[in-house]
A and B are shown apart, each in its own frame.
Chain A
């Protein structure tokens, strides 16, 4: 039984991710000190969630770097896997799917699994002019990528 509330990031060695790599995903870039302090506070308080859009962008940037370092944990055989601990903690399902897509960049459609439950699909754009289409729990989203 856990002795304290924790979070997905607590299971990862976040110290190994250079703040420069996280800052690359952020526009505007809030500065390396800010990013490194945010990351370090996440190590102290892994159970916290993003209150603002700005904080959410940093959380998702950290997630993208985690995915980049462990792609096999998040995608195999045409499926995106979203650990249940991520949903509504690091971001919404569309946010998380988008973060996975940015890093894993599948060329073919993939199914989205939340844990072992299929919750939707991703249709990548076939040309730069097309939209990325995500369908989750019956809702459709379109993003320019």
Chain B
């Protein structure tokens, strides 16, 4: 007898894929197409200005706005540092000075208001490759460097949010519960593994402190709605983003992250990962130098951008056979994984009164009998 079951891959090891690294601001991009890169190589310099501050110079010196500029101790366009004298006006009672409250550049002076505009010094940051790979494309306009690399792909059942990257932090065991108290400032800019359930308040706190992403076993449906555009299950091509990317590996409610996925995540603690919430996908770039061999020998199509947007693997059907690994997707054994050790040839009556075919799954700790339709091949 042929027994069909749904097949949903959860881990796709060692795929050759593309990742995109953004170099914000207006610094130089230092790599070229076809250049090999190591994780510590610098792709470019990110030079970004962080705003400006307006200082009431004329008022502070007690002069008219049109005269203020002549008391400036440095010319416009020059850098000044915190504590440095910006303006100095001699008077009969001594000297009246104005001290710079911060580092910056004297940008302009307004003779009508007497205000001096001080722009903050630009922030310079090196953007690292963070992966072993080969530069596939340099997009000067969008300031992106697209790198061909080897990665392990983790596929969730739900997700939301745009592509974000950062270092992974295992915040909790695979069945832990994450509330807002556990979301602390040191998690800023990281992608966190939040155990078997995360609450809405924790997600809000994570957005507030700029956590980049969350990987979790389960989430309550009402909480998921609040960050996924008001829907329970996101429709294809419907992208949402609330300032945080999320993938859920098991389903709605509280479920430990599957052992298969958690054991892979544990190897990536404090390593660079890429989370694409809207496509329910987490990429774990290889940190093995030997991966360059496969990267070099695997060709990808020319049109790199299209690969970045290609759909993830959708569930499909296949013949269920003894020896296959399955995951239970309905109560009472939801999210339990194991190997199929037998498939019944005759239907059995369930406690619900329904008549159906059962199979026996051997998990790490026990053997369970479940309806064939309540498992998926993984």
Contact = CB atoms under 8 A, between A and B. Distances in A.
Chain A contact patch, size range = 20 to 34
B316 A4 contact: yes
A92 B222 CA distance: 31
B351 A53 contact: yes
Contacts of A15: 231-233
B329 A48 contact: yes
Interface string A27-46: 00000011011111101110
B112 interface: no
Given A4-B316, A5-B317, A48 B222 contact: no
A49 B317 contact: no
B94 interface: no
Nearest to A14: B232
B187 interface: no
B307 interface: no
Interface in B346-360: 350-356
B128 interface: no
Interface-central residue, B158, B231, B330, B354, by most chain A CB under 10 Å: B354
A19 to B, nearest CB: 8
Interface residues of B, number: 36
B331 A51 contact: yes
Given A48-B373, A52-B351, A40 B5 contact: no
A33 to B, nearest CB: 6
B352 A56 contact: yes
A111 interface: no
23 contacts: A3-B316, A4-B315, A4-B316, A4-B317, A5-B373, A15-B231, A15-B232, A33-B222, A36-B221, A40-B221, A41-B334, A44-B157, A44-B251, A45-B329, A49-B354, A51-B332, A51-B370, A53-B351, A53-B352, A55-B330, A56-B352, A56-B353, A89-B354
B102 interface: no
Given A33-B220, A41-B252, A49 B352 contact: yes
B365 to A, nearest CB: 19
A43 B329 CA distance: 12
B316 A48 contact: no
B372 to A, nearest CB: 9
- List the 9 closest pairs (A to B, CB-CB), nearest first: A48-B330, A40-B221, A40-B252, A56-B352, A37-B253, A37-B252, A50-B352, A36-B221, A45-B329
Interface string B65-99: 00000000000000000000000000000000000
A43 B224 CA distance: 14
A56 B355 CA distance: 13
A73 to B, nearest CB: 22
Given A33-B220, A49-B356, A55-B331, A44 B233 contact: yes
B353 A95 contact: yes
B314 interface: yes
A4 B373 CA distance: 11
A47 interface: yes
Contacts of A49: 330, 350, 352, 354, 356, 371, 373-374
B253 A52 contact: no
A38 B252 CA distance: 7
Contact of A37 (B220, B315, B370): B220
A37 B221 contact: yes
B6 A91 contact: no
Q: Which of B231, B331, B374 has most chain A Cβ within 10 Å?
A: B331
Contacts of B332: 51-52
Contacts of B371: 48-49, 51
Contact of A36 (B5, B222, B329): B222
A34 B253 CA distance: 8
A88 interface: yes
A22 to B, nearest CB: 12
B4 interface: yes
A51 B222 contact: no
A24 B189 CA distance: 44
